[in-house]
Amino acid sequence: MCHSSAQVREAIGVTLSVVCSNIRLYESFDLDHSHESASKGFGNQYNGRSWVLVLKERASEVVMNIQNTTQSDNLETPAIINPEIGHLNGDSQADVKWMETLFHFIISSLRSARSSYLVDVIVGFLYPVISLQETSSKELSTLAKGAFELLKWRLFWGPHLQEAVAVILSSANDSNWRTRSATLTYLRTFMYRHTFILSSAEKQQIWRTVEKLLVDNQVEVREHAAAVLAGLTKGGDEDLAKEFRDKAFAEATDLQRKRKRRNLSSSQPIASIHGAVLALVASVLSAPYDMPSWLPEHVLADTSSSSSYFA
């Protein structure tokens, strides 16, 4: 998986997809009981361990290595930069090549008609795909984006859906702001595809997580969260949407009251003020063609809050 040739790594990824799907397809058939005890689990082991577990553990380790290397590269200005592999050398190059092969495996699996047999494997690699959208390796980021586009339209059910939600909630709180932003991008399509099969508790968790990102310390994340909330408010759970609108309006009203009384402390974080404005913006943008009864007062509050923010 760490071969020096990109073509060979792609071929290995495709071959791995075929082999793994064949193993799962074989396991799905009813085997003759006389052979079941001898054959069951034979293709599911790698050095005595589950091949799925081996891949997931290795992927987690490689992702951390690549992220640490990328952060180090952002703090340095090397004299010579390889456009294909960025500033990576030694073990870092091996990690990038291994992950490229894994992305070829994911892409091939998602394109395959047998992808349903590998859903548990695919959902296990959701975090690597989301978190490696922007790295110091151009080729790796390109493959991550390709896998991301295919993964956005994958439908998950049952325990796989619960695992996907857990990964999303964790990624939304990642220390890297680019990962948080990529998670929001994924959430747009994810909620569109799964909103009617998610439990009320899962939807509430996702809403609360996105709302928290309105006060993120990175302005790009705050604005992205507002755009996602506008979509959720427009086509999501009506009870959660109403609760969000009411909360946004109450916070904006409180912001105006403090400004009039000149109690708006200069030490108050800009992110919290900006977040209150963006919450109103999300509410207004959720009704681009209609005129619901709550919209006029929200527009007025948005205008007043915006002036408070830019004052």
Statement to judge: residues 7 and 141 lie in one domain: yes
**In a shared domain, residues 69 and 201:** no
Please report, in tens digits, the pLDDT of each residue of the chain (311 residues total).
Answer: 888 888 999 999 999 999 988 888 887 775 544 455 444 554 555 555 688 888 899 999 999 989 888 766 555 444 444 444 444 455 688 999 999 999 999 999 999 888 888 999 999 999 999 999 998 889 999 999 999 999 998 999 999 999 999 999 999 999 999 999 999 999 999 999 998 999 999 999 999 999 999 999 999 999 999 999 999 988 777 889 888 888 888 887 777 777 666 655 555 678 888 888 898 888 888 776 777 667 667 666 656 555 554 44
Instruction: Indicate if 182 and 107 belong to the same structural domain.
Output: no
> Is the separation of the CB atoms in 102 and 20 below 8 Å?
no
Co-location of 190 and 307 in the same domain: yes
**Angle 138-132-57 (CA atoms, 0-180°, nearest 5)?**
125
Q: 233 in helix, strand or coil?
A: helix
Q: Are residues 32 and 132 in the same domain?
A: yes
Domain end (from 154, 174, 195): 154
How many separate domains does the chain show? 2
Asked if residue 66 and residue 11 are part of one domain, the reply reads yes
Q: Do 259 and 134 belong together in one domain?
A: no
Residue listed under structure tokens 């396991």: 27
CATH number at residue 204: 1.25.10
Closest CA to 204 of 234, 241, 171, 174: 241
In this structure, are 89 and 184 located in the same domain? no
Helix axes 219-235, 270-285, angle to 10 degrees: 30
Token code pair at residue 82: 């390889």
Structural domain boundaries, residue 45 = 1-154
Q: What pLDDT is attached to residue 248?
A: 85
